[in-house]
Amino acid sequence: MLYLDNSSTTQIIPEVKDAMLPYLLEEFGNPSSKFYSLAQNSKAAVDMARRNVAQLLGCDSDEVIFTSGATESNNFIIKGVAHYYKDKGNHIVTSRVEHPSVLETCKFLGQNGYNITYLDVDSFGRVNPKDILNIILNDKPILVSIMMGNNELGSLNPIEEIATICKEHNVFFHTDATQAIGKVPLNLCDIDGINFLSCSAHKCHGPKGIGAAIIRKDNLGLPVPITPLLHGGGQERDIRSGTLAVHNIVGMGKAAEIAFKNLDENIEKLEKLESKLVSILKEKFNDNIVFNNDQTKKIPGILSVQFKGINNEVLVRTLAPVMAVSTGSACSSSKPSHVLQAIGLSMEELRSTIRFSLAPTIFLNDLDIFNSL
Ligand code: PMP
């Protein structure tokens, strides 16, 4: 069975599993304990993982806060900014195509006194930075939250432009980079203006249940305060509590280390795989398919394709014995895709769309399976 649902989750690679195992077995110490070697070994492993995540993202280690995943990071950052800066304003700007962990968080805040602007997107799911500028000039928000790359379409937003606008007008900017990391070059040091970033390990061959909230320091090098989501022992810089999941953190660190080392090679592999898949689909289905993606400025390896006149759920189920694909996001699979609706597709087009998402672990020959369909 060929797994082509890597935007939903990825398989842990052997190096990640090998790095994690000792921390599930003999190295079980709590990194927040002190004085004995079991605790110190765990602490050293967490520090190393933090450095590896920081290296992949191009930020400082002390800007990495480990969380349970991108859902928590998005909740933590958006609610944390909203609460901490409520005296400065109640306006938050996001887009219609964000992940539910951003949209539902904003909806919750909207029901609790905040004013949320949901930006429209173009036909490929991208926001227009000019819309953000106009909103800022009209009613200055406390936060702009726009995803780096979309999980259904792969489209990349003009993040640097948005970051510059936000920076110039002194507005906090958060980006959900969950789908982009490890597949798109990213160096936070070079992008002045991203204050917050969310990411998750399981989208780039790390374990599930672990992610990070990146909280960048201000111009003076001081931590930017936000309200914690989880109160307790303050294990993560006093703003995120809970005993650290050392095995998961080590797994995320190893996945980040490998993603950083292989970034160029992985991008090239994904581009080759995508281009082969596009040719196969075009050859086999001719005018019976339509690509919802833009071919440029996208995360390599994500394809959203309409199979005209075919119901996507029936197709996914029919393909299941040979190939794992999805109708869109696994997080909201029971509802019609809000992303495809936002780019203007009809219900019929939406109901015939399938997402293929590739991984660098796939071989070009694996795609020959399409020839036997
Ligand atoms: N944001 C995006 C863009 C995603 O694709 C996902 C996962 N589907 C998430 C956030 C949530 O990530 P996690 O599973 O780590 O909570």
Query: Which tens digits make up the pLDDT trace of 3-47?
Result: 999 999 999 999 999 999 999 999 999 999 989 999 999 999 999
Note whether 182 and 118 are same-domain residues.
yes
List, for residues 104-117, the tens digit of each pLDDT value.
999 999 999 999 99
Name the residue with the closest Cα to ligand 1, atom 7: 8
Q: What is the pLDDT of residue 295?
A: 85
What atom of ligand 1 comes closest to residue 101's alpha carbon? Answer: 10
Q: Catalogue the active-site residues.
A: 331
Name the average pLDDT for the chain.
96
Q: Is the pLDDT of residue 342 over 90?
A: yes
What atom of ligand 1 comes closest to residue 71's alpha carbon? Answer: 16
Q: Is the pLDDT of residue 152 over 70?
A: yes
In short, whether 70's Cβ falls inside 6 Å of ligand 1 is yes
Note whether 90 and 228 are same-domain residues.
yes
* Average pLDDT value for residue range 331-338: 75
Q: What is the pLDDT of residue 331?
A: 59
CA dist., res. 151 & res. 168, Å (int): 29
Q: Is the pLDDT of residue 334 over 80?
A: no
CA dist., res. 11 & res. 204, Å (int): 8
Mutate to test the pocket of ligand 1, among 8, 96, 104, 179 (most ligand atoms within 8 A of CB): 179
* Average pLDDT value for residue range 257-281: 98
Q: What percent of the chain has pLDDT over 70?
A: 98
Q: Is the pLDDT of residue 100 over 80?
A: yes
In the numeric block, which tokens belong to residue 99?
């992940």
pLDDT band at 373 (very low <50, low <70, confident <90, very high): confident
Note whether 350 and 238 are same-domain residues.
no
In short, whether 248's Cβ falls inside 6 Å of ligand 1 is no
Note whether 120 and 29 are same-domain residues.
yes
217-219-222-227 Cα dihedral, nearest 10 degrees: -60
In short, whether 69's Cβ falls inside 6 Å of ligand 1 is yes
Note whether 29 and 61 are same-domain residues.
yes
Nearest to 244 by CA among 29, 22, 26, 20: 29
Name the residue with the closest Cα to ligand 1, atom 5: 151
Note whether 223 and 321 are same-domain residues.
no
Q: What is the pLDDT of residue 328?
A: 77
pLDDT band at 329 (very low <50, low <70, confident <90, very high): low
Note whether 147 and 63 are same-domain residues.
yes
- Expressed in angstroms and rounded, the spacing between residue 70 Cα and the centre of ligand 1 is 5
Least confident of 73-77, 292-296, 297-301: 292-296
* Burial status of residue 98 (CB atoms within 10 A of its CB: 0-12, 13-18, 19 or more): buried
* Average pLDDT value for residue range 242-264: 98
Name the residue with the closest Cα to ligand 1, atom 9: 70
pLDDT band at 335 (very low <50, low <70, confident <90, very high): confident
pLDDT band at 372 (very low <50, low <70, confident <90, very high): confident
Asked if 229 contacts 76 with a C-beta cutoff of 8 angstroms, the reply is yes
CATH number at residue 67: 3.40.640.10
Q: What is the pLDDT of residue 47?
A: 98
Q: Is the pLDDT of residue 332 over 90?
A: no
Note whether 92 and 226 are same-domain residues.
yes
pLDDT band at 330 (very low <50, low <70, confident <90, very high): low
CA dist., res. 339 & res. 328, Å (int): 9
Count how many domains the chain has: 2
In short, whether 357's Cβ falls inside 6 Å of ligand 1 is no
Q: Is the pLDDT of residue 316 over 70?
A: yes
**Cβ neighbours, 10 Å, residue 187:** 11
Note whether 153 and 179 are same-domain residues.
yes
Q: Final residue of a domain: which of 222, 242, 261?
A: 261
DSSP result, 254-301: HHHHHHHHTHHHHHHHHHHHHHHHHHHHHHHHGGGEEE-S-SSSB-TT
In short, whether 68's Cβ falls inside 6 Å of ligand 1 is no
Q: Final residue of a domain: which of 231, 261, 291?
A: 261
Nearest to 5 by CA among 297, 224, 326, 300: 326
Q: Final residue of a domain: which of 261, 286, 310?
A: 261
Enclosing domain of residue 297:
2-9+263-372
CATH number at residue 302: 3.90.1150.10
List, for residues 168-215, the tens digit of each pLDDT value.
999 999 999 999 999 999 999 999 899 999 999 999 999 999 999 999
Note whether 60 and 183 are same-domain residues.
yes
Note whether 191 and 230 are same-domain residues.
yes
In short, whether 235's Cβ falls inside 6 Å of ligand 1 is no
CA dist., res. 333 & res. 264, Å (int): 32
- Expressed in angstroms and rounded, the spacing between residue 175 Cα and the centre of ligand 1 is 12
Report the SS3 class of residue 370: helix
Note whether 307 and 367 are same-domain residues.
yes
In the numeric block, which tokens belong to residue 112?
């609790």
